[in-house]
A and B are shown apart, each in its own frame.
Chain A
Amino acid sequence: MAGFTSLGEAIRDNLKDGDTVAFEGFTHLIPFAAVHEAIRQKRRDLHLVRMTPDLIYDQLIGMGCARKLTFSWGGNPGVGSLHRLRDAVENGWPTPLEIDEHSHAALANAYEAGAAGLPFAVLRGYRGAELKEVNPNIKEITCPFTGEKLAAVPSIRADCAVIHAQKADRKGNVLIEGILGVQKEAVLGAQRAIVTVEEIVPDFGPVSPNACILPSWTVSAVVEVPGGAHPSYAHGYYKRDNAYYKAWEDIGREREVFLKWMDENVLRKGPDVFSRHAGRAA
């Protein structure tokens, strides 16, 4: 059953050193505030899982929190490289990073299989693709009915999933709207789940009977962090801060500039700084 708590407590209680953790949100509802709290609490040796590492994993990797990364597209969308990710892969800075690289289709299937409690996912994928030659987590499997050769990848069942959503009600049920990504699958496949939300409301009011709702008993902790997805966005609340993503190109490129920026904007700050980005779209 979800407990309402502070972001500090939620991370302290649910994310441990060495955990496999999925901070999800497919370009939308990316849990920046929660990542910043994990960095402040100096989590180490994390196995990070995420389809699109985005700036949050660039920050975690650059701050030395990660030992391994499972991913399928590691760039700054529309801008270019994730320089901290590249520095770790190309130069082992600040620590070597093991990579487990996939395609989007494979990881999307792997999350779904994790939510379904299965050990692996099967897909018609990786045909003629070289990733299957370099990643031992991509295997071939034969359909027992038709003989068709298919790809298999391990399911994703994280120790901890962390997502951001629009709303929780007072019982701790969580409502997600807009681009849904793989958040539902990440939470249902994980041992523990932390959800930060834009707001806690008495009740959701009229929503579609098919709305994407995570019942409170699927979630470990709910934390109200208005603006907590900035500089990504929250559908119905605030837009993606594309200028921030573009600025990250220069912030992330050099180690010293990056460390200074993280010190000023993350280590010396708290979750409350996100509230200035909160708001409702007109």
Chain B
Amino acid sequence: MSDYTPSEIMTIAAARELQNDDVCFVGIGLPSAACNVARLSHAPDITLIYESGTIATKPNVLPLSIGDGELCETALCTVSVPEMFRYWLQGGRINKGFLSAAQLDRFANINTTVIGPYARPKVKLPGAGGAPEIATSCGEILIVMAQSKRSFVDKLDFITSLGHGTGGDDRERQGVTTKGPTKVITDLCVMEPDPETKELTVTGLHPGVAPEAVAAATGWSLKFAATLAQTPRPTEAELGVLRALHRRTEQAHQSKAAQ
């Protein structure tokens, strides 16, 4: 068995959460990598949707932006951005949304807006993009992001997108009928919301990761399930798919536009 990096097992563990019959709204970055690894391995017919309006796209390289030409050229069809958000997302046609975040809290609420106060930002982050409505309109949400005390925080500087709010039935009380975040996959572990309180609980560890290391990379007192699963090691085939995808992507993005 070959070695792998924490980032690689994170992406591969995230990819395993997707099935062939999923219709998935894909965020850029880590989610895009995970979704395409799934498509290029165990879920060849998965429907990947990007907010640029591309439906059932099959990119050969990972897009740098959410609207690279590759996405449109390999899509079943491409609709306008208003149609994408109105008919397809708000219309309830998408069963999974795959997101990432700058900051996440214990109820899997997402901040991608600002570090520091909104009126006097220390760091202005890019902002919401599609996430607030992806988070509430998709059937369920998967989140993939690297874990550290800076990103897994006790209190968000800003709630850009709703996770489980203040916990319990807060989503329902806010008029949201979808499940919200069902899994958070990091480079150390897998977390799931507690069925009652909705607080994120570690349910699985990646091979060789100690619970203490996970706790130390979290900004709140993290809960662990009584029995912890161990993430299966990435297979040679999974690693091959991921590395080839990154290699093709790297080459494509470094070269000046073909003319």
Contact = CB atoms under 8 A, between A and B. Distances in A.
Interface string B80-92: 1110111001100
A44 interface: no
B78 A242 contact: no
A28 B64 CA distance: 12
A105 B66 contact: no
Interface of A is mostly: loop
B1 interface: no
B6 interface: no
A175 interface: no
Interface residues of B, number: 65
B253 A243 contact: yes
A131 interface: yes
A77 B28 contact: yes
A109 interface: yes
B69 interface: yes
B51 interface: yes
A28 B70 CA distance: 11
A123 B82 CA distance: 11
Interface string B127-151: 1111111011100000000000000
A103 B258 contact: no
A240 B65 contact: yes
B193 interface: no
A81 B112 CA distance: 12
Contact of A128 (B28, B65, B68, B159): B159
B160 interface: yes
Contacts of A85: 124
Nearest to B51: A104
A158 B174 CA distance: 33
A71 interface: yes
A277 B259 contact: yes
B52 A73 contact: no
Nearest to A148: B175
B136 A127 contact: yes
Given A90-B123, A127-B162, A128-B159, A79 B72 contact: no
Query: DSSP class of B's interface residues: helix, strand, loop or mixed?
Result: loop
Interface string B173-201: 01110000000000000000000000000
Nearest to A241: B257
A73 B133 CA distance: 14
Contact of B128 (A103, A148, A184): A103
B86 A128 contact: no
B54 interface: yes
Name, among A109, A212, A231, the residue most crowded by chain B CB atoms within 10 Å (CB to CB).
A109
B255 interface: yes
Contacts of A277: 257, 259
Interface in A28-87: 28, 51, 71-75, 77-79, 81-82, 85-86
A251 interface: no
A127 B170 CA distance: 11
B128 A108 contact: no
B34 to A, nearest CB: 15
B259 A242 contact: no
Contacts of B84: 108
B124 A73 contact: no
A235 interface: yes
Contact of A180 (B53, B122, B127, B137): B53
B5 interface: no
A235 B69 contact: yes
A179 B67 contact: yes
A164 B2 CA distance: 49
A211 interface: no
A95 B237 CA distance: 53
Interface of A: 26-28, 51, 71-75, 77-79, 81-82, 85-86, 89-90, 101-105, 108-109, 111-112, 123-131, 134, 148-149, 178-182, 184-185, 212, 230-231, 233, 235, 238-243, 245-246, 277-279, 281-282
25 contacts: A26-B53, A27-B52, A27-B67, A28-B67, A73-B128, A101-B127, A103-B131, A105-B85, A105-B89, A111-B82, A124-B136, A126-B133, A128-B161, A129-B132, A131-B113, A131-B132, A179-B67, A181-B52, A233-B68, A240-B68, A242-B64, A242-B68, A242-B253, A245-B64, A281-B258
Interface of B: 28-29, 51-54, 63-69, 71-73, 78-82, 84-86, 89-90, 109, 113, 118-119, 121-133, 135-137, 158-162, 165, 170-171, 174-176, 252-259
Closest 4 CB pairs of A and B: A27-B67, A128-B162, A75-B126, A77-B65
